[in-house]
Structure 1
Amino acid sequence: MRTIRRVLLPAAAAVLLTLTATGEGQGATPGPESRAAADASAATAAATTTTTDAGAAALAYWTPERMKKATPLDVLPAADPSAATADSAPAAGAVPPSVPPRPAEHPAGSTAGASPHTIYASAAAGRVFFHNPRTGGDYACSASALNSPSRQLVVTAGHCVHGGRGGTWMTKWVYVPDYHNGSAPYGVFAAKSFRTFQGWISSSSAARDVAMVTTWPNNGRKLVDVTGGNGITWNGSRTSRVAVLGYPVNFYRGEVQMYCNGGTSPERGTSRFQIRCHYGQGSSGGPWLRWYNTGNGLGYVDGVTSTGNLSAGWDQSPYFDSYVAALFKAQGSLT
């Protein structure tokens, strides 16, 4: 089936319609029997914008010592699927990356016993730290910077900003680009506002486990102006080659950004897709990047790590459809 992509334009829509969360067809429209449920699932909800004082408090809270003690958040459990992979050719119309002032400078290398993984860090990916008021714990996820009109946007998993059904919004949320063993080479960016799907908030729907976060500038500089920002694609093929970045605790205790390059395939019985990267806790929210450029550390985000089955090695991402694009448009212009 022909892959369709669209140019994302700034918009401020807050309520969206959605594709059905089941089936593997690209661009499938929900049938009449599922439309009401699908519409409710894809409505978006935004957290109240934090104050400058709250942002400053979050920055003060996250000392290097506290970052190292944060618990890497579990990826959601998933079944053990089968896979087949194929390549996908680039297509015009996606939002392009914003080139950073310089590429990341960590040396390449390989991890023992994990040939798909390389330490190949990007300044436009990083680690997230936050406090969960419901549990009282401090946690860590992965995330990445997105090129948008605001130049302040981060994309991650929904469960890294909100606890899902029965949960609440996370607090003291910060993003650390290219975090490396307690260091923050590009500074720390506090969250200003969150947006995720109602389907995640009310039902913990793995098909809607996506969130976007507007950050406060750091010392007057916006995130994408400091690190560069990835582009974004949607309505693409579920079989493609991607680079998956993140901070899984099963590699270097989650203190080093990991890189896994391989092919994806549809997840059986869902709208999502998968790759075999063997990523564990802490990798949630890490970007799945098409056409990743190892020279400048940028690509096009087409998914985020959401669920996984570590024993089988599979990791899954929600499918980036037109409603993820609309989520981007709703949050990407906010400053």
Structure 2
Amino acid sequence: MRSIRPALAAASLAVALVLTATACESGDKKADAKPTNSAAQEGDQAGGEGGAELPEDLDAIADRLKEHGIDVDKWKDGEWKNWDKDKWLREAKDFANPVIEDLWSPERMKSAKDPSQTISAKAASGSEGVTDPEPRPVRAQKERTPYHNYAAPVGKIFFDTPEGTAVCSGTVVKDPRNPGKSNLVWTAGHCVHQGKKGGWYRNIVFTPAYNDKGKSPAQMQNAQPQEVAPYGNFWADWVSTSGEWIDGTTATDPEGGSYEYDYAVMHVKPEKGGKSLEETVGAALPVDFSSPAPKSVDAMGAWGYPQAEPFNGVLMHKCVDRPGRLSLTSSAPTMYRIGCTMTAGSSGGGWFREISNGKLALVSNTSIGPAGSAGWLAGPQLGDGAKRVFDTMSEKYGNK
């Protein structure tokens, strides 16, 4: 373990890769949300064969909104703030996220802070199946700056919820059908959809290498736009997550969250136009869908932007630990769990492991942590269901 941890950290730096952890956070109240997925409503390992019809054209946003009585121009002028049940789209085929240019100004990004803890482990206390002893806390370490040199694929995700602006973390991942030109971002399902009790979140953007130079909150007050978002903002024009997350089919808590399937893939485009996300950032990570047994992995690393206290949301952190197992219910796959003190805001952040020659691959994402404290993080295993969601995104929208 001692020899593996430094190697994992070094590999992430050398290739400008990232590891992630912890949940979302909202600037108003609680954006904890268990988000839903869009594209293919297909599950992970324990089933999830349902298939949602996918639109053929990413430019059909206006038509999809009109079908629900929503005018795109009015939407951009503020109608998106209407979260009435009949206006809050939740089905996979109804995802819509029209670009509202300059909505996510540096000032608005700053307002998505000091959120409530958005992840909890209420269900873990009565878990069935196989659960390993709780890991010892691993203190989160600050990533070196500038982030684009050491963790270029990692970034922050900003979005709007009924409770206000919220944040998560995400990772640029490779698109095997569009080598070198990926526009895909991996994150948690609860960062894009509220799940069983709600619908798709709105104004979802990915900001790679957010706060590139690692400025403090005070310094960020006078930071230039290129320091806040060195590569600009990338809007999600399509998102896919598991049907289990949307429907809460394995939920063991009152909120209806199927955390074992809490993953999502976003297809993004630059707000101002330009090259693909991977070309712009200069790096991306492959996704490992082999679901390795925890005992076969010496170390996993999680990267993200924790925002709940004692963190501030503007600095990227990381944790590396040997993974264990966490079971929430015997009817669903076990989750990976590592010791880590990152808090809400790191949700959706990627987890990585070495696959060969020091190279890293994304193997999970931060989903939940302990309620009322910070000492560990858990993420879903990525198996056949996750691969189907990913392949659908790549095949249908990858070259858009």
Considering the TM-score relative to the shorter chain, is it more than 0.5?
yes
Instruction: After superposition, give the CA deviation of every residue in 1:136-156 in whole Å (9 maximum; x if it has no partner).
Output: 511111001111034100010
Which residue in the other structure is 2:185 paired with? 154
**TM-score for both structures, normalised by structure 2:** 0.61
Residue 292 of structure 1: how far off its partner (Å): 9.0
CA RMSD of aligned residues (A): 3.1
Letter of the 1:171 partner, please give it. Answer: R
Which residue in the other structure is 2:155 paired with? 126
Percent same amino acid at aligned positions? 27
| Partners of 1:202 and 1:119 in 2: CA distance | 36
Structure with bigger helix share is 2
Correspondence for 1:256 among 315, 331, 343: 315
Letter of the 1:143 partner, please give it. Answer: G
Correspondence for 1:245 among 291, 295, 303: 303
Which residue in the other structure is 1:145 paired with? 172
| Partners of 2:152 and 2:319 in 1: CA distance | 16
Letter of the 1:225 partner, please give it. Answer: E
Mapped pair 1:19 → 2:45: yes
Change beyond 3 A, Cα 1:274–1:152: same
| Partners of 1:254 and 1:45 in 2: CA distance | 37
Partner of 2:378: helix, strand, or coil? strand
Change beyond 3 A, Cα 1:154–1:74: farther
Q: Where do 1:30-45 residues align within 5 Å?
A: 38-39=47-48, 43=51
Q: Say whether the 8 Å CA contact 2:302–2:318 is kept in structure 1.
A: yes
Which residue in the other structure is 2:340 paired with? 277
Which residue in the other structure is 1:176 paired with? 207
Unaligned runs of 5+ in 2: 1-38, 63-71, 77-96, 126-130, 221-227, 249-256
Instruction: After superposition, give the CA deviation of every residue in 1:105-135 in whole Å (9 maximum; x if it has no partner).
Output: xxxxxxxx97442323411010000112xx1
Partner of 1:67: helix, strand, or coil? helix
Residue 56 of structure 1: how far off its partner (Å): 7.2
**TM-score for both structures, normalised by structure 1:** 0.72
Which residue in the other structure is 1:224 paired with? 278
Q: Which region of structure 1 is more displaced relative to structure 2, 114-123 or 255-264?
A: 114-123
Q: Say whether the 8 Å CA contact 1:59–1:190 is kept in structure 2.
A: no
Aligned residues: 273
Change beyond 3 A, Cα 1:230–1:75: farther
Q: Say whether the 8 Å CA contact 2:235–2:268 is kept in structure 1.
A: yes
| Partners of 2:200 and 2:267 in 1: CA distance | 14
Which residue in the other structure is 1:67 paired with? 109
Change beyond 3 A, Cα 1:331–1:167: same
| Partners of 1:208 and 1:146 in 2: CA distance | 18
Instruction: After superposition, give the CA deviation of every residue in 1:292-324 in whole Å (9 maximum; x if it has no partner).
Output: 99x9xx831100000001625111001111111
Which residue in the other structure is 2:119 paired with? 76
Residue 76 of structure 1: how far off its partner (Å): 2.5
| Partners of 1:292 and 1:330 in 2: CA distance | 24
Q: Say whether the 8 Å CA contact 2:48–2:242 is kept in structure 1.
A: no
| Partners of 1:285 and 1:73 in 2: CA distance | 16
Q: Which region of structure 1 is more displaced relative to structure 2, 196-205 or 261-270?
A: 261-270
Partner of 1:324: helix, strand, or coil? helix
Which residue in the other structure is 1:117 paired with? 141
Change beyond 3 A, Cα 1:225–1:269: same
Q: Say whether the 8 Å CA contact 1:44–1:327 is kept in structure 2.
A: no
Mapped pair 1:190 → 2:190: no
| Partners of 1:324 and 1:73 in 2: CA distance | 28
Q: Say whether the 8 Å CA contact 1:75–1:306 is kept in structure 2.
A: no
